[in-house]
């Protein structure tokens, strides 16, 4: 039962949605990396439930560092992060013990853990468990900033509404870091929020596509086969419960082009080799080529909806109807961007540590 991601920089998750606490252990971070608690809290706030487009469940998400941090800096030993659950209402899930929610992990968890799993709120499968991931990712992301590497994610599309593309990567990423709702266009934000509220009013949910940019990555990072940059990032992204697809650069659209259109020509600029376009999303042969890493993830609609659905009763063997109670999001995509940013940082950090050594992330240390 593995709950760890990463090779030389790794994160292990623990806890359940309605348990006493959730958390993670970060291993492989060099000593002397600054822990900016304000930045960690700002990243967690981007994940937090807000207003009427999110779940009514509100959690303070106060991070406790149990080990590995002293006087605001990493010690170089494993960091244990704890976030206590304070707003738990497990009674709302009692009726779901024998009736798995469609497209939720209830059924698969039952068969994997033979009924011993904590079912309340989705247990270990809940999106609640992404909170410590965001905290861990914020630590790594802040270290990456010291090296000039920036990460930003926006909602490329939600249901039938779309945002504009990245244009000036640096300024767009800086804008997204301050934005409570992650679109680059204000009109797109308004329309997407209206779409979420309409789905909520109709007791339904919506999904969409998140697009991420990583800039200032050094050339030559990644392995040619099983630990390609695409492979490591995709592994991280598919760890997010709602993700159902990942594509890099032009992605599936590249299949509609000829090689002459799809190839990224090289040129010299300021004594540096660059590509004149970026169909490959900053990756060639599984290795960074110095251009911005661009990828998109598909976020499915929240499976817990209030409309009546078909399911089964595992105790009686009957086909039954179910109406899901509890507190749920009509859309999670605006909150998921914080999780995508965090796991991108962890994946990039692991790739860099693998390529350049454990102390690399401390090279930009801010004392």
For the ranges 188-197, 246-255, 316-325, the lowest mean pLDDT is seen at 316-325
Confidence of residue 367 (pLDDT cuts 50, 70, 90): very low
Q: How many domains does the chain have?
A: 1
* Higher per-residue confidence, 272 vs 287: 287
Give the mean model confidence (pLDDT) for residues 287-294: 97
Residue 271 lies in a domain: yes
Rg (CA), the chain: 21
Residue 22 lies in a domain: yes
Are 331 and 302 contacting, i.e. CB atoms less than 8 angstroms apart?
yes
Residue 173 and residue 154: Cα distance in Å, rounded? 9
**Close Cβ partners of 227 (under 8 Å, ≥ 6 residues apart):** 7, 286, 351, 354
Residue 183 and residue 334: Cα distance in Å, rounded? 9
CA 71 to centroid of chain Cα atoms: 29
Token duo for residue 197: 């509220």
The torsion defined by the Cα of 62, 68, 73 and 76, in degrees rounded to 10, comes to -150
SS3 content of the chain, % helix, strand, coil (to 5): 35, 25, 40
Residue 367 lies in a domain: no
What tens digit of pLDDT does each residue of 130-149 get?
999 999 999 999 999 999 99
Burial of 307 (0-12, 13-18, 19+ CB in 10 A): exposed
Looking at every residue in the chain, the average pLDDT score rounds to: 92
Are 151 and 216 contacting, i.e. CB atoms less than 8 angstroms apart?
no
* Closest to 6 (Cα-Cα) out of 143, 133, 128: 133
Given its phi and psi angles, is residue 357 left (phi above 0), alpha (psi -120 to 50 degrees) or beta?
left
Q: What is the structure's pLDDT at 364? A: 65
DSSP states of 12-66 as a string?
EEEE-TTSSEEEEEEE-PPTT-B--HHHHHHHHHHHS--GGGS-S------EEEE
CATH of the domain at 76: 3.60.150.10
Q: What is the structure's pLDDT at 227? A: 96
Give the mean model confidence (pLDDT) for residues 10-26: 93
Q: Which helix (H) or strand (E) holds 247?
A: strand 243-248
The number of helix segments (H) and strand segments (E) in the chain equals 8, 18
Burial of 141 (0-12, 13-18, 19+ CB in 10 A): buried
E strands along 249-325, which residues?
266-269, 272-275, 283-284, 287-288, 293-299, 309-313, 318-322
Residue 76 lies in a domain: yes
Token duo for residue 64: 């406790």
Residue 354 lies in a domain: yes
Return the top range by mean pLDDT from 14-18, 37-41, 300-304. 37-41
**How many CA atoms does the CB half-sphere of 32 hold within 13 Å?**
11
Q: At residue 64, does pLDDT exceed 60?
A: yes
Three-class DSSP category at 298:
strand
For the ranges 88-102, 191-205, 324-338, the lowest mean pLDDT is seen at 88-102
* Higher per-residue confidence, 93 vs 114: 114
Paired strand residues for 321: 310
Q: Helix 37-47 to helix 333-356 angle, to the nearest 10 degrees?
A: 140
DSSP states of 99-156 as a string?
SPPTTSSHHHHHHHHTT-S--GGGGGGSGGGHHHHHHHHHHHHHHHHHTT-EEEEEEE
Biggest alpha carbon–alpha carbon distance for the chain: 71
* Higher per-residue confidence, 90 vs 281: 281
User: What range defines the domain where residue 50 resides?
Assistant: 4-362
Q: At residue 157, does pLDDT exceed 90?
A: yes
Residue 220 lies in a domain: yes
**What percent of the chain has pLDDT above 70?**
94
């Amino acid at each position: 039962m593995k709950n760890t991601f990463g090779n030389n920089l790794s994160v292990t998750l623990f806890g359940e949605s309605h348990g006493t606490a959730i958390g993670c252990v970060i291993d492989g971070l060099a000593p002397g990396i600054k822990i900016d608690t304000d930045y960690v809290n700002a990243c967690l706030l981007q994940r937090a439930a807000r207003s009427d487009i999110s779940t009514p469940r509100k959690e303070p998400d106060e991070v406790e560092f149990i080990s590995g941090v002293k006087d605001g800096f990493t010690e170089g030993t494993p960091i244990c992060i704890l976030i206590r659950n304070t707003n738990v209402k497990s009674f709302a899930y009692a009726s779901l013990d024998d009736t798995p929610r469609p497209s939720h992990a209830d059924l698969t968890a039952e068969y994997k853990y033979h009924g011993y799993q904590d079912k309340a709120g989705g247990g270990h499968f809940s999106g609640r468990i992404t909170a410590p991931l965001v905290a861990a990712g914020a630590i790594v992301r802040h270290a990456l900033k010291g090296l000039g590497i920036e990460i930003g994610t926006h909602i490329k599309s939600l249901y039938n509404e779309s945002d504009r593309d990245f244009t000036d990567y640096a300024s767009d990423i800086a804008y997204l870091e301050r934005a409570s709702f992650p679109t680059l266009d204000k009109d797109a934000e308004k329309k997407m929020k209206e779409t979420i509220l309409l789905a909520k009013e109709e007791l339904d949910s919506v999904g969409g596509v998140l697009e991420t940019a990583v800039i200032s990555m050094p050339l030559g990072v990644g392995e040619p086969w099983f630990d390609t940059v695409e492979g490591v990032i995709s592994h991280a992204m598919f760890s997010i419960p709602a993700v159902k697809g990942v594509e890099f650069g032009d992605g599936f659209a590249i299949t509609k082009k000829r090689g002459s259109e799809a190839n990224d020509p090289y040129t010299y600029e300021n004594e540096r080799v660059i590509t004149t376009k970026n169909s490959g999303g900053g990756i060639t042969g599984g290795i960074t080529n110095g251009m911005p890493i661009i990828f998109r993830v598909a976020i499915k609609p929240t499976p817990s909806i209030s409309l009546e659905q078909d399911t089964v009763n595992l105790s009686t063997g009957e086909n039954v109807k179910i109406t899901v109670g509890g507190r749920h999001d009509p859309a999670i995509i605006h909150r998921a961007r914080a999780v995508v940013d965090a796991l991108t940082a962890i994946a990039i950090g692991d790739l860099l540590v693998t390529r350049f050594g454990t102390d690399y992330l401390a090279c930009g240390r801010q004392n």
